[in-house]
Amino acid sequence: MGRTRTIARRSFLIGSAAVLGGVAFGTYLAVKPSENPLTESLAEGEAAFNPFVKITEQGITLIAPHADSGQGVHSMQTALIAEELDIALDQAEVSFGAPDPAYYNTAMANDAVPFAAFDEGLAARSMRVVASSAFKILGVQGTGGSSSTPDQYDKLRAAGAMARETLKAAAARRTGLPAEQLKTENGRVITPTGEAIPYTALAAEAAQIPPVTDTPLRDPAEWRLIGKPMQRTDIVAKSTGTLPYGIDISLPDMLHAAVRINPRQGGELLDFDAAKAEAMRGVKAVLPVTGGLAVVADNTWRAFKAAEALEVTWGPAPYPAEQAEHWEAVANSFTPERLNTTWRDDGDVDTAHQGEVITAEYRAPYVAHQPLEPLGAIIRADANGAEVWSGHQLPRFVQMQVAAKVGCEMEQVTFHNQFIGGSFGHRLEFDVITLAAEIAAQLPGVPIKLTFSREEDFAQDYPRQIGMARSTGSVKDGRVESWALDIATVSSSVSQMGRMGLSLSGPDAQIVAGAWNMPFALPHLRVRGYIVPELAPTSSWRSVGASTSGFFAEGFFDELIHAAGADPLEERLRLVTRPVHRQVLEAIGEMSNWGSDLGAGRGRGLAMFESFGVPVAEVVEVTDTPAGIRIDKVFVAADVGRVVDPVNFENLVQGGVIWGLGHAINSEITYADGKAEQSNYHMAEGMRLYQTPQIEVRGLENGSHVRGIGEPPVPPAAPALANAIFAATGTRLREMPFYKHINFV
Amino acid sequence: MELSVNGTSYSLDVEEDMPLLWALRDELGITGPKYGCGIAQCGACTVHIDGQAVRSCQMPVGDIGNAEITTIEGLGTPEAMHAVQQAWVDHQVAQCGYCQSGQIMQAAAFLETHPEPSDEDIDRAMSSNLCRCGTYPRIRAAVKTAAAKLQGA
Ligand code: FES
Ligand code: FES
């Protein structure tokens, strides 16, 4: 079964290559004419090689190219390879890629990653839409859009299987035994007499023979690792303080840098006086950088202090200075000129809305990323190029950006990707990289570690898109009859891609993500996206467009269902069109014991939303206490096609729910005088432990494709909470953050 | 000045008002304690000073005198983990893991003074430490497991 289904779907070729001291196994991607800037140097028909397994006499190295910002893909990728390669999870070194220069120059120079296979119908259309947004770039060359699992699921297993069978073939040649009589276990080939030959001892020979590429993938029934609880490969290091993040790396003669950049993002430095800072202990230099100044010192704290001591005069922001103007620009964007496109138009909404209608307006503010590790990078630059140590989701773009700053070729930039202390989209941006490169270029040969202070990180963050929705709907005979959903947001895709020198072709699907393709068949349903003129710069924030459209859609859907006098679960079940989504709804109903009596002052709310191909339903239970709303419990059902690691799955779902709830309740970024008003966690903390509910998770596997779970639990959290609060109190929350409208415990 | 960290004494020449966090990280190369906020809001920098959980970003080195400093590196090692670290591994708490040095140091000090904590005690003690990845449900469970283990020990 594994074979026919998997091989038929493969969009890649597997193969091997000799490398210094051994052999590498991976995939070749035949380059088709495409607008992928990364493979332009390849002629049509030429192939780029992605090595995933490298075996030499010294050991086994797995190359896990997707960056790990906490979502566990490092471990997941290891497990996918190990499953077929027959090694233990701790038997290989796992590298983010580019392990040594020779290897780097040949094999990794033109890597490229094909995007996941497509589904039929609505899902296929939705995937194509995703592919037309910023995610095209991420899918092609990076980590984002919950793409790691779908991208790697087949390829890594195929590479592992090929490596195993090729090593067996090498052992067969050496021993004269037929390969069928050989077994593999724990990184060794075992002969019928029990002789064990380590893979490492076979590496050189394996490089000399043609790779065995027609190996069927194992049937899931045979899996040792996938689908079973695994110990994450990084868990001990992360529990003992021994895992080095980018911020922890130290190089000989390294200096520490801090920056002071115009907090009116994109504005100029008009004037400055560095005398005080320059006289401070440990300060080596004050240097000009784009938008401001850098201080180079012998200690991070001294650099921070000196940066604060700089006297600066900032130019104005290239966007409206006050928050009210931002809201006004959003509100004024529901016009024919700003119509981005009509994404869905079922039935005839205009005719349906000639009678009595229900209307509402929803708002979602800017929100900061602010992962706990602040942005940072170490760069050393000289006449021969540059070396970079940092954690980033788009390594090839890091090379391009650094090359542009230090004035060398991209190939002269070596990038050492690092474990990341959280991203949520933040490590898709380049400012810390380009600023570190500008500093390093002014101090040739000296490794410069640039660390953003938390205040600088807040000031320079590109928040989630700001947006509003206007909904009009009607009900008839106890049912939801019609709904016109208009969503206006700034385009974080346009903003983000603009900073990468790219432009978005076509309408931005993220504005209406998940809303236009909602799996419900209403008699009349229209979804339109409006694009707000660029305001403050924005970026991808965990679940991107769906983080706002999910709230807009599932909040108002609950209002319509309430107006119809219907039950939120029953009405969704009546209207749902897709079997996988129906099963998710049925599961959440059963888990939450939907319909049972919760008692006085309590309420439950439901939302289901799909993002990145994953339908997620959440039920939130709250109690209206004298001190405010207490969130008691959350149930989550999500269908990812295949749960690779149930423990990590549960952890990520819980984290996604906490992310969604915490920011919906507590967090926003607002602008005054052109600057973000929030400067540290006391003003934007998301959720803390005392507010955290119990969260019960169920992973479903009915979907036909394997999907990632990093982002999809986020969008339903805010509307499910708002709907629960309505059920408990009768108060409808239509604007995040909710704390502005109701108290929480 | 002299600092005693994880049983080793170091002499260093820094300003009295340099926060302990930066003396540890940039002067002594002890990087388990993390920088998250610098204003006592996140707890990522938590260390023990004479057994008490302290935000090292707020502790001037000049105020420490000869008190004993313990960082996550001194609490236990991958080969010989402290009960709290072992519980963190058993429950697979970490996502990005960046907050977890501080969470573990906070929990370890807390369990010294509250060997049989209630759920409310745990919520109160651990709410000063931020986890942006949202590992709180696992932190709660791991603290309970560690408490039970320490009681049994
Ligand atoms: S860095 Fe010390 S509490 Fe945040
Ligand atoms: S695990 Fe990432 S901040 Fe806690």
Is B101's CB within 8 Å of A688's CB?
no
Lining ligand 2 with CB less than 6 A are A 70, 372, 422; B 94-100, 131-133, 135
ipTM beyond cut 0.95: yes
Select the more confidently predicted residue: A410 or A735. A735
Using a CB-CB cut-off of 8 Å, the residues of chain B touching A281 are 15
CA of A362 to the centre of ligand 2 (A): 31
Reduced to 3 states (helix: H, G, I; strand: E, B; else coil), residue A617 is strand
In chain A, the residue whose alpha carbon lies closest to the alpha carbon of B96 is A70
pLDDT in tens, B39-62: 999 999 999 999 999 999 999 999
Question: Which chain A residues touch B118 with a CB distance below 8 Å?
Answer: none
Question: Two tokens at A239?
Answer: 């529990």
- Give Cα A16 distance to the centre of its chain: 30
Q: Which residue's CA is the nearest one to ligand 1's atom 3? A: B40
Instruction: Tell me the pLDDT tens digit for each residue of A436-489.
Output: 999 999 999 999 999 999 999 999 999 999 999 999 999 999 999 999 999 999
pLDDT the model gives residue A44: 44
Q: Closest approach of chain A CAs to the CA of B92, in angstroms?
A: 6
Average confidence (pLDDT) over A382-411: 93
Our CA angle for A524, A529, A535, nearest 5°, is 155
Residues enclosing ligand 1, CB less than 6 A? B 35-38, 40-45, 55, 57
Q: Cβ separation of B134 and A658 shorter than 8 Å?
A: yes
**Residues of A with Cβ-Cβ distance to B41 under 8 angstroms:** 680-682, 685
Question: Which ligand 1 atom is at minimum distance from the Cα of B43?
Answer: 3
Contact A70 B99 (CB under 8 A): no
Rounded to an integer, the average pLDDT of A619-643 is 97
> What is the mean pLDDT of the segment spanning A107-122?
26
The overall average pLDDT reported for chain B is: 97
Nearest to B41 among A72, A451, A681 (CB): A681
Please check whether residue A271 is in contact with residue A419, taking contact to mean a CB–CB distance below 8 angstroms: no
**Chain B residues near residue A655 by CB distance under 8 angstroms:** 95, 133-135
Residues of A in contact with B26 (CB under 8 A): 256, 298-301
| Cβ–Cβ gap A70/B133 under 8 Å | yes
Euclidean distance between CA atoms A522 and A545, whole angstroms: 23
CB A575 within 8 A of CB A554: no
Could you report the per-residue pLDDT of A59-86, keeping only the tens digit for each? 998 887 777 888 888 888 889 999 999 9
From B29, B130, B135, residue closest to A681, measured CB to CB: B130
Calpha distance A217→A2 (Å, rounded): 5
Distance B34 CA to ligand 2 centre (A): 11
Q: Omega of the bond prior to A737 within 30 degrees of 0, cis?
A: yes
pLDDT in tens, A274-320: 999 999 999 999 999 999 999 999 999 999 999 999 999 999 999 99
pLDDT-based confidence at A14, cuts 50/70/90? Answer: confident
Residues 6+ apart with CB under 8 A from A534: A319, A490, A491, A494, A495
User: What pLDDT is recorded for position A53?
Assistant: 87
Beta strand residue intervals within A477-515, DSSP E: 479-490
Both tokens of B145, joined, read 């497991």
Query: Are B94 and A69 within 8 A, CB to CB?
Result: no
Work out the number of other CB atoms within 10 angstroms of the CB of residue A114. 17
Q: How far apart are CA B25 and CA A248, in angstroms?
A: 8
What is the residue type of A387? E
Residues A324, A171: Cα–Cα separation, whole Å:
72
**Closest in B22, B77, B137 to A240, CB measured:** B77
- Among the partner-chain residues A240, A647, A648, the one whose CB lies closest to the CB of B85 is A240
Residue-level pLDDT at A111: 23
Q: Which residue of B has its CA nearest to A633?
A: B137
Distance (Å) of CA A708 to CA A70, A72, A73, A147: 13, 11, 10, 6
Q: In angstroms, how far apart are the furthest CA atoms of chain A? A: 84
Question: So what's the pLDDT on residue A156?
Answer: 86
Verify whether the Cβ–Cβ distance B97 to A370 is below 8 Å: no
Any idea of the CA torsion for A283, A288, A292, A294, to the nearest 10 degrees? -30
Q: Ligand 1 center to residue B42 CA distance, Å? A: 5
| Residue contact B85–A239, C-beta within 8 A | yes
Whether A654 sits inside 8 A of B19 (CB atoms) is no
Q: How far apart are CA A685 and CA A625, in angstroms?
A: 23
Q: With CA atoms as reference, report the closest residue to A701 among A608, A616, A644, A639.
A: A639
CB hemisphere CA count around A482 (13 angstroms): 22
How far B10 CA lies from chain A's nearest CA (Å)? Answer: 17
**Nearest residue in chain A measured CA to CA from B139:** A689
Ordered strands of the A448-451 beta sheet:
A283-289, A292-297, A255-261, A448-451, A376-382, A385-390, A413-417
Q: According to the model, what pLDDT value does residue A213 have?
A: 85
Mean of pLDDT values over A96-115: 31
Question: What domains, with CATH codes, occur in chain A?
Answer: 33-105+141-239 (3.30.365.10), 246-317+375-451 (3.30.365.10), 323-367+463-740 (3.30.365.10)
Q: For residue A85, report the distance from its CA to the centre of ligand 2, in Å.
A: 31
| Candidates A70, A231, A424; nearest CB to B97 | A70
Could you read off the pLDDT of A515-545 as tens digits, one per residue?
A: 999 999 999 999 999 999 999 999 999 999 9
Report the nearest atom of ligand 1 relative to the CA of B55: 2
By C-alpha distance, which of A434, A590, A553 is closest to A500? A434
- With a pLDDT cut of 70, the percent of chain A lying above it is 88
Ligand 2 centre to CA of B133 (Å) is 4
pTM, rounded to two decimals = 0.92
- Ligand 1 centroid – CA B102 distance (Å): 9
The predicted model gives A574-587 an average pLDDT of 98
Q: Mind telling me how many Å the CA of A719 is from chain B's nearest CA?
A: 19
Q: Give the Å distance between the CA of B56 and the centre of ligand 1.
A: 7
pLDDT over 90, % of chain B = 99
- Reduce the DSSP state of residue A525 to 3 states and report it: strand
* Sheet containing A183-185, strands listed edge to edge, beginning at the edge strand earlier in sequence: A183-185, A188-190, A196-198
Mean pLDDT of chain A: 88
Q: Find the closest chain A residue to B71 by CA distance.
A: A241
The string of pLDDT tens digits covering residues A606-623 is: 999 999 999 999 999 999
Share of chain A above pLDDT 90, in %: 76
The Cα A38–Cα B95 span in angstroms is 31
Of B38, B134, B135, the CB nearest to A453: B38
Task: Name the residue type at position A447.
Answer: P
- Report the candidate in A532, A598, A493 with the shortest Cα–Cα distance to residue A333: A532
Position A260 pLDDT exceeds 90: yes
Q: What is the pLDDT of residue A361?
A: 98
Question: Using 50, 70 and 90 to split pLDDT, how confident is the model at A37?
Answer: very low
Q: Which of A519, A489, A525 is nearest to A507 (CA)?
A: A489
- At A12 the pLDDT is 63
Rounded to whole angstroms, how far apart are CA atoms A671 and A678? 9
Shortest Cα distance, chain B CAs vs residue A71, angstroms: 6
Contact between chains at B130 and A242 (C-beta distance less than 8 A): no
Nearest residue of B to residue A453 by CA position? B37
Helices A199-206, A148-175: axis angle to 10 degrees equals 90
Cα angle, residue A289 at apex, residues A283 and A295 outer, rounded to 5°: 10
Of A245, A298, A690, the CB nearest to B127: A690
Neighbour tally for B144: CB within 10 Å = 15
> Tens digit of pLDDT for each residue in B110-134?
999 999 999 999 999 999 999 999 9
Quote the pLDDT of residue A506: 85
CATH of B83-150, one of 1.10.150.20, 1.10.150.120, 3.20.20.70, 1.10.940.10: 1.10.150.120
CATH class of B2-75: alpha beta
pLDDT given at position B69: 98
Whether B82 contacts B76, CB under 8 Å: yes
Q: Return the pLDDT at A144.
A: 60
Q: Which of B89, B108, B87 is nearest to B97 (CA)?
A: B89
CA–centroid distance, A101 to ligand 1, in Å, is 38
| Cβ atoms of residues A407 and A441 within 8 Å | yes
Answer yes or no: same fold for B2-75 and B83-150: no
CB pairs under 8 A between A and B: 189
Count of Cβ atoms closer than 10 Å to residue A356 Cβ: 9
Residue, of B6 and A92, whose pLDDT is higher: B6
Residue A72: the pLDDT is: 87
Count CB-CB contacts under 10 A for residue A497.
18
Distance from CA of A395 to the nearest CA of B (A): 19
Instruction: Calculate how far, in angstroms, residue B38's C-alpha sits from the geometric centre of ligand 1.
Output: 5
Helix (H, G, I), strand (E, B) or coil at B98: coil
Atom of ligand 2 nearest to the CA of A70: 2
Residue A133 predicted with pLDDT over 60: no
pLDDT of residue B100: 98
State how far the Cα of A410 lies from the Cα of A105, in Å rounded to an integer: 12
Identify from A245, A301, A373, A661 which residue to disrupt to test chain B contact, counting B C-beta atoms within 10 A and taking the largest count: A301
Helices (H), A693-732: 717-729
Domain boundaries, chain B: 2-75, 83-150
Task: State the pLDDT at residue A21.
Answer: 77
In ligand 1, the atom with minimum distance to the C-alpha of B56 is 2
And the tokens for A457?
């990180």
